[in-house]
């Protein structure tokens, strides 16, 4: 039954159906990759923002720093000066 149906469709209709199917597959693939790219960059943006909100230099108590220098928050590195 179906074989007869496909034989009655003109070549022009078959070609337009094939082109439409290829176009739909292309649009679906492009949409998937676009969505995954923007989702990844959105998550990276959220992660960077959360990291910047959490990254605060704590102020250590002076009692701990005076008695236990090793337990104090590390100071930024000193850069060598050029003469």
Q: Is the pTM of this model over 0.85?
A: no
- Residue holding tokens 């959105």? 42
Nearest C-alpha neighbor of 72 from the set 63, 20, 80, 81:
63
9: left (phi over 0), alpha (psi -120 to 50) or beta: beta
Nearest alpha-carbon partner for 61 in 51, 73, 53:
73
Q: In the chain, which stretches have pLDDT less than 70?
A: 1-3, 55-77, 79-83
pLDDT given at position 74 = 59
pLDDT at site 48: 85
59-77 CB burial, b ≥16 within 10 A, e <16: eeeeeeeeeeeeeeeeeee
């Amino acid at each position: 039954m179906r074989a007869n149906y496909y034989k009655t469709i003109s070549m022009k209709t078959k070609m337009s159906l094939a082109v439409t199917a290829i176009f739909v597959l292309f649009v679906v693939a492009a949409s998937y990759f676009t969505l995954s790219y923007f989702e990844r960059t959105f998550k990276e943006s959220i992660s960077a923002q959360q990291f910047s909100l959490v990254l605060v230099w704590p102020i250590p108590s002076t009692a701990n720093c005076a008695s236990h220098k090793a337990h104090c928050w590390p100071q930024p590195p000193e850069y060598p000066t050029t003469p």
